[in-house]
A and B are shown apart, each in its own frame.
Chain A
């Protein structure tokens, strides 16, 4: 009995001090959440990525930063030690999820949402504890909120990658690249909004398909089809205005996905 107690104490001690690149996993109806870290060991004065991993049941989805007609983007509140800061989520490119007659922007099956964590040079502790309070909405046709208190502790010292590094790299590769423009405008053309732009590179050359995801709310009718023509570095895309359109902001941002492969983050002005 005595030795069993000792053993249990030892296990508790180990897990208490345990450094791990993956947090606890919280199961919620139709979804599971955890945090994963790119690094096992972090170095002061550098940054790295941690991701919120949401695993969904088949046919269920979560949302992009602009969820479209309904829904809600996942949200994380961080609890971090002094000298450690979290950026916003680096959103992987979304997919269109029709919920006839409406349309949402989001992710099916599984998504990893990377967040950059910066550790100041003056960080002296031997370990780095990261807590993320995640909340999200998972939907099929009906929607159910999920919540999770997630926590992991990393060692501090010489920078060293974890086994989950490849997962974070893959998630970051799904994020759109910043699109450099020579010129880009958005304008009202009757019942449509028209985007016309000249990219710095011929990113539309030979493209079969160009899809737009607008990040700003209340501008386009998400479920309506776009009409677009493009050549080399030129794109002219028209999309019906939202029924709730009111006015065009001075700058509009979003993502173009070319041939379901390459994603570009754009900003065009009015």
Chain B
């Protein structure tokens, strides 16, 4: 009986450990290995020493369209990749679900939208999305040079599908990157992401 309750306690401990293995701000961002649309295999840890921005995306989602039809997302990608930041667009749509693309389709989308990510990660199993608790498209994350998660959440402050709202929004990614560049802590490290659900 005693042994049984010890076993039970251990089982509970294991469950508790799994539950607490969740993503946390100012802690190490979960490492991952992913296949890119360009056919490479990349790991987050490959980019140690550089800042990394993760962008969850789904080209058919109206919230994603808001930021691409307005060139808002491309402008951010350009601004930060030109500064040496690694920008990874992640597609976690499962096969058969909205936004799922093959490598060739992903490259075509990048071309047709003049997008400028460093890489597009194909995550049809959803493993990276699950590790990061990515819930919406877009959903944005900033990881610093040491691999620490510094921001996760919305792209900006106005939850809408209307591109006209972008001008009156605070861009949280831009704001966090600016704060980090001046050696500050990110003042709003977590915001509620808005968008379509990730199509796991």
State the A residues within 8 Å of B (CB).
Answer: 69-73, 75, 99-102, 104, 135, 137, 139, 141-145, 191, 217-218, 240, 243-246
Q: Across the two chains, which residue of chain A brings its CB closest to B130?
A: A101
Q: Give the complex CA separation of A191 and B60 in angstroms.
A: 35
B159 at interface by CB-CB < 8 Å: yes
Cβ < 8 Å to A, chain B residues 95-136:
97-98, 133, 135-136
User: Given A72-B160, A243-B23, A244-B152, does the pair A145, B135 have CB atoms closer than 8 Å?
Assistant: no
Cβ < 8 Å to A, chain B residues 1-29:
16, 19-20, 22-23, 25
- SS of B interface (majority): loop
- Do B19 and A69 have beta carbons less than 8 Å apart? no
Question: How many chain B residues touch A (Cβ–Cβ < 8 Å)?
Answer: 33
Q: Across the two chains, which residue of chain B brings its CB closest to A147?
A: B162
Q: Across the two chains, which residue of chain B brings its CB closest to A241?
A: B22
A-binding segment of B34-42, B67-75, B190-198: B190-198
Q: Give the complex CA separation of A222 and B161 in angstroms.
A: 23
B180 at interface by CB-CB < 8 Å: no
Selected from B133, B162, B192, the residue in CB contact (under 8 A) with A243 is B133
User: Given A191-B20, A244-B152, A246-B25, does the pair A70, B162 have CB atoms closer than 8 Å?
Assistant: no
B contact residues around A69 at 8 Å (CB): 135-136, 197
Q: Give the complex CA separation of A27 and B63 in angstroms.
A: 21
- Do A143 and B196 have beta carbons less than 8 Å apart? yes
Nearest chain B CB to A248's CB is how many angstroms away?
12
- Do A102 and B197 have beta carbons less than 8 Å apart? yes
Q: Give the complex CA separation of A144 and B196 in angstroms.
A: 10
B contact residues around A142 at 8 Å (CB): 60-61, 98, 196
A contact residues around B159 at 8 Å (CB): 72-73
- Do B192 and A141 have beta carbons less than 8 Å apart? no
- Do B195 and A240 have beta carbons less than 8 Å apart? no
A contact residues around B136 at 8 Å (CB): 69-70
Q: Give the complex CA separation of A191 and B16 in angstroms.
A: 9
24 A-B pairs with CB atoms under 8 Å apart are A70-B135, A70-B196, A70-B198, A71-B197, A100-B200, A101-B200, A102-B197, A102-B200, A104-B197, A139-B196, A142-B60, A142-B98, A142-B196, A143-B61, A144-B62, A145-B62, A145-B161, A218-B192, A240-B19, A243-B23, A244-B23, A244-B152, A244-B190, A246-B190
- Do B98 and A102 have beta carbons less than 8 Å apart? no
